[in-house]
Structure 1
Amino acid sequence: MQDFKVELLTKSNSDLFFHLIDTNRNRLEDFFAGTVARTLTLEDTKEYCAEIETKIKEKTYFPYMIIDQKTKMFIGLIDVKNIDWSIPKAELGAFIDSNFEGKGIVFNSVSGLIDEIVKEHGFKKLLCRISNRNSRSINVALKSGFELEGTIRYDYKTTKGEIVDLNYYGKIFK
């Protein structure tokens, strides 16, 4: 995957982040509702990215961008969120621009990032909450060594107001 790299989002990249979200807004609004709501305009996105930089410093949120090395465009996001330092554990979420789906980019990016964040932050557990309708994300989780731990019923409300079940996948590091 030398054509792609993964690095933390910075405020200076607000325009690239806005473009990625804006071009994928309709397909992201249900399961990346917070991000979509905070990036309606470029100005909103700049403000949101400034808040994100604070969260990175506080070690409460780490958004990693998947970057196409050839075009320098952001083509995806892997976010490390809902961090509980008492264990320590975190949740991973990811998406990729629709033009890059099905090419193994998310799997390769997630796999590399997992190794990096476990080493850097000492996470003992990573988890993914995934809709049972999202077969591609389920495949990435399973291929990355996550195991289905169960289904959390009525766990998430989409932007359309639908309350849905989420599959809970976990990966332990000892």
Structure 2
Amino acid sequence: MDITFDNYKIDLLSTSEGEAFFDLIDTNRARLEDFFAGTVSKTRTLKDTLEYCVEIENRIKVKSYFPYMITDVYTGQFVGLVDVKNIDWNVPKAELGSFIDSRYEGEGIVSKATNLVVNHIVKEYKFIKLLCRANTRNKGSIAVILKNGFELEGTIRRDYKTTKGEIVDLNYYGKVFD
């Protein structure tokens, strides 16, 4: 897989990149806690993150999770993530999540990366539906979702528990493919 745009490349996370993954999460931990609770909880320390990367590698092998890392080609640092999760091969459908390092926010990087990942996974894995979930407070994610042609399908009340224990409503956005 060779996905590139501007000064960035997109590739699946490999086990050898655990430290870089930890650095990205740790740098953005406070802003990710509410909306990436699972990832944040599994990456509290470098040791936890390295163990989680082994788990991720196994999930990639069995095609149950695809974490596409966005890398700055000049610095070699991870700047964001577009992940494909909650895969249902019976349909086939999946959920997308994404975030960008706060230092790169507002540049359109995660919007472009999401578009490229969507095109790749629809072609490669023949997904016929993709969905995204976002809390109404998460304006940045909603902007990325809408920019990529997803449409609001509805709001599921009391659907997600944040790291702080708050139960929040989530908007569900979908996109279908022929």
Which of 113, 131, 142 is matched with 1:138 structurally? Answer: 142
- The AA in structure 2 aligned to 1:2 is D
Is 1:125 matched with 2:132? no
- The AA in structure 1 aligned to 2:144 is V
What are the residue-to-residue correspondences of 1:12-161 with 2, within 5 Å?
12-161=16-165
How far off is 1:136 after superposition?
A: 1.4
* 1:77-134 deviation line (CA, Å, top 9, x unaligned): 1110000000000000000100000000000000011000000000000000001111
Aligned residues: 174
- The AA in structure 2 aligned to 1:132 is T
Percent identity between the two aligned chains:
65
Name the SS for the 2:106 alignment partner: coil
Give the TM-score normalised by structure 2.
0.96
Unpaired runs of 5+ in structure 2?
A: none
How far off is 1:135 after superposition?
A: 1.2
Distance (Å, rounded) in 2 between the aligned partners of 1:42 and 1:158: 22
- The AA in structure 2 aligned to 1:170 is G
Which of 166, 170, 173 is matched with 2:174 structurally? Answer: 170
Tell me which stretches of 4 or more aligned residues in structure 1 moved more than 2 Å.
Answer: none
Distance (Å, rounded) in 2 between the aligned partners of 1:26 and 1:14: 19
Unpaired runs of 5+ in structure 1?
A: none
How large is the Cα RMSD of the aligned pairs? Answer: 0.7
Distance (Å, rounded) in 1 between the aligned partners of 2:120 and 2:158: 32
